[in-house]
């Protein structure tokens, strides 16, 4: 579960809605002074629960302190959520649905964040099965996002502080744009997410995980438009951030993309041939990191790329 800085959440929501501090204090019945609100947003004073609840309500948003949580009646049921995502990762949709049904039975179905989470997972499964088109998927995801962001049509996406479920929905929308072959909209949304994440309103590990994912997606988009140097720049930035924080989450994809883009530059005579050995090392690292993470499809993808670019040269697999 991501940990958020409450003061940043207040400030970002207020700014995204175009509300001044003076106006928000007035709307809340002067529950706090403008100076106190400023100090809360800057993290200089602790935000009292009642004050936070009131300010959030005045902005028409959910006031819960557990900003990234779904709510269940049994604590043990929270273990079902990672199981669902593991099944989805391996495309085991029947098992994912069965586990989702178990989770749904112990959920408060009227709780808006629960409804949003259930809808998002069901939409993802339907889309992967080919039951809905990319256009339908995108529209349904937008409505799903509206569960927790009622003012969705009137906010600046760069400024809004997203919870984990909202970020996942936006990431799925990137996929829909990609499948609809709308690279300009895909790139626009990714840049908005990048600008948003770089406000760093979540703890460092979660920031790096989100940010490196976005950089990986930006790298992919740059690759498709032959902007290989820009793609390499995004890859290197993401790899460096993950190394510094000692995280592996998105590392294999970034290593793979880095190697692939360097190979494209070598083909065009824009990189020295000695980069070949470096590319081989990157792909071997990506392969074994994927194996360690129990990925099913990516290791085979890496092996095929190696067979195409380095036939008979890599014997580690």
Among 294, 227, 283, residue whose Cα is nearest residue 258? 283
What pLDDT band is residue 63 in, cutting at 50, 70 and 90? very low
Fold exhibited by the domain 203-317: 1.25.40
What's the confidence (pLDDT) of residue 155?
A: 85
What's the confidence (pLDDT) of residue 224?
A: 92
Residue 311 has pLDDT above 80, yes or no: yes
Over residues 75-86, mean pLDDT: 80
Fold exhibited by the domain 6-58: 434 Repressor (Amino-terminal Domain) (1.10.260)
The DSSP letter of residue 106 is T
Q: What span, in angstroms and rounded, lies between the C-alpha atoms of 37 and 62?
A: 18
pTM: 0.81
What's the confidence (pLDDT) of residue 64?
A: 47
Residue appearing with tokens 């990672």: 82
User: Torsion angle, CA of 114/180/171/144, rounded to 10 degrees?
Assistant: -20
Residue 307 has pLDDT above 70, yes or no: yes
* Residues 138 and 106 sit within 8 Å (Cβ to Cβ): no
Span of 108-112, 192-196, 253-257 with lowest mean pLDDT = 108-112
Position with higher pLDDT, 53 vs 268 = 268
Q: What span, in angstroms and rounded, lies between the C-alpha atoms of 68 and 57?
A: 17
Phi, psi of 199 (to 5 degrees): -80, -15
Position with higher pLDDT, 173 vs 290 = 173
What's the confidence (pLDDT) of residue 68?
A: 42
Q: What span, in angstroms and rounded, lies between the C-alpha atoms of 130 and 155?
A: 32
| Token pair of 276 as six digits | 């070949």
- In the chain, what percentage of residues exceed pLDDT 90? 53
SS3 4: strand
Position with higher pLDDT, 301 vs 217 = 217
What pLDDT band is residue 90 in, cutting at 50, 70 and 90? confident
Q: Could you give the residue range(s) of every CATH 1.25.40 domain in the chain? A: 203-317
Over residues 202-215, mean pLDDT: 91
Position with higher pLDDT, 30 vs 224 = 224
Position with higher pLDDT, 70 vs 279 = 279
* CA-to-CA separations, 257 to 141, 218, 251, in angstroms, rounded: 28, 11, 10
Residue 76 has pLDDT above 70, yes or no: no
| Token pair of 48 as six digits | 């009292």
Buried-exposed string 57-67: b where 16+ CB fall within 10 A, e elsewhere = ebbebbebeeb
Residue 223's H or E segment, with its range, is helix 204-224
Phi, psi of 202 (to 5 degrees): -115, 170
Over residues 45-54, mean pLDDT: 85
Residue 66 has pLDDT above 60, yes or no: no
What's the confidence (pLDDT) of residue 183?
A: 93
Residue 73 has pLDDT above 70, yes or no: no
What pLDDT band is residue 206 in, cutting at 50, 70 and 90? confident
Q: Could you give the residue range(s) of every CATH 1.10.260 domain in the chain? A: 6-58
Position with higher pLDDT, 294 vs 140 = 140
């Amino acid at each position: 579960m991501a940990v958020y800085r409450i003061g940043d959440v207040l400030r970002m929501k207020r700014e995204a809605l175009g509300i001044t501090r003076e106006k928000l204090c007035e709307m809340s019945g002067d529950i706090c002074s403008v100076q106190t609100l400023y100090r809360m947003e800057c993290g200089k004073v602790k935000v009292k629960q009642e004050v936070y609840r009131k300010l959030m309500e005045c902005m028409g948003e959910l006031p819960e302190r557990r900003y990234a949580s779904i709510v269940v009646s049994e604590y043990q049921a929270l273990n079902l959520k990672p199981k669902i995502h593991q099944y989805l990762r391996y495309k085991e949709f029947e098992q994912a649905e069965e586990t989702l049904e178990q989770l749904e039975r112990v959920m408060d179905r009227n709780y808006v964040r629960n409804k949003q989470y259930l809808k998002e997972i069901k939409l993802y499964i339907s889309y992967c099965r080919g039951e809905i088109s990319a256009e339908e998927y995108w529209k349904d995801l937008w409505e799903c996002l509206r569960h927790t962001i009622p003012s969705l049509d009137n906010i600046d996406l760069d400024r809004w502080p997203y919870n984990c479920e909202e970020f996942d929905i936006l990431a799925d929308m990137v996929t829909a744009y990609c499948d609809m072959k709308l690279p300009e909209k895909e790139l626009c949304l990714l840049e908005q997410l990048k600008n948003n994440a770089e406000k760093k309103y979540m703890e460092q590990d979660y920031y790096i995980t989100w940010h490196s994912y976005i950089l990986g997606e930006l790298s992919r988009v740059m690759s498709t438009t032959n902007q290989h140097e820009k793609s390499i720049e995004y890859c290197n930035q993401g790899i460096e951030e993950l190394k510094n924080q000692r995280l592996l989450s998105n590392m294999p994809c970034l290593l793979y993309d880095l190697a692939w883009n360097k190979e494209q530059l070598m083909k065009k005579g824009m990189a020295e041939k000695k980069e070949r050995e470096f590319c081989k090392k990157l792909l071997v690292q990506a392969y074994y990191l994927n194996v360690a993470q129990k990925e099913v499809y990516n290791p085979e993808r890496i092996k095929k790329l190696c067979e195409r670019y380095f036939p008979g040269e890599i014997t580690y697999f």
